[in-house]
Amino acid sequence: MDSYAEKKKRFRQRCLKRLKQASRQGTYAKDRRVVEKLSALIAAEHAKSVMLYVPLATEVNIFPLIRHLRQRGVTVYVPFMEGKSFRLVKYRYPLRIKQFGIKEPKFSNQYRKKQIDIAVIPIVGMDITRRRVGFGKGMYDRFFEKETKNIKKRVFVARELCMSKEIVTDRYDVKADLVIVP
């Protein structure tokens, strides 16, 4: 009998393969649909502070959303890696490539000091409990374990939904309030 860890690992590998295939064509249209839905949600929620991410190649390109939100005066925070987790810093230029090929702003003392209205979280997949399967480093899980009380709404995004009909996650994996896919 497989353990959750083994099931999760195999599920993650299948999802990554699907995401890589989904990222070969039609990404502009897929990403645009997700960004439009996110923008509408953020406006409807009257969000003033939003946690986003700096996208990798297989993740929804949210750079147009970042620009749009900043122009509207919404405070945008992104992860700044520290050890096995991260903290949120204000999105600002220049971005530089760090560990795992992830771009992030330079170190900043302008970190989040208040509530986050909406956290947008990239996923590799999820299971029937609406818990996240990511790249397997556990950074989002460790961050949300400490910060869950300071985040009003968690939104998962992906170019394609990869969902397991059985439970492959652990109780500490981040759980979504909403999922947005093209």
What amino acid is encoded at 124 in this protein?
V
Query: What's the predicted TM-score (pTM) here?
Result: 0.87
How far is it, in rounded angstroms, from Cα 100 to Cα 59? 14
* Residue at 104 is within a domain: no
| Neighbour order of strands in the sheet with 49-51 | 85-90, 75-82, 49-51, 116-122, 151-157, 178-180
Q: Is residue 95 part of a domain?
A: no
Q: With respect to residue 89, please indicate whether it lies within any of the assigned structural domains.
A: no
Residue 158 lies in a domain: yes
* Residue 136 within a domain: yes
Range with top average pLDDT, 13-22, 78-87, 111-120: 13-22
* 94-119: average pLDDT: 66
Q: Of all residues in the chain, what percent are helix, strand and coil, respectively (each to 5)? A: 35, 25, 40
Range of the domain at 176: 4-76+114-180
Average confidence (pLDDT) over 65-87: 86
Q: How many domains does the chain have?
A: 1
What mean pLDDT do residues 148-168 have? 93
Q: Is the pLDDT of residue 118 over 90?
A: yes
Q: Answer yes or no: is 85 within a domain.
A: no
133 within a domain of the structure (yes/no): yes
pLDDT score for 103 = 59
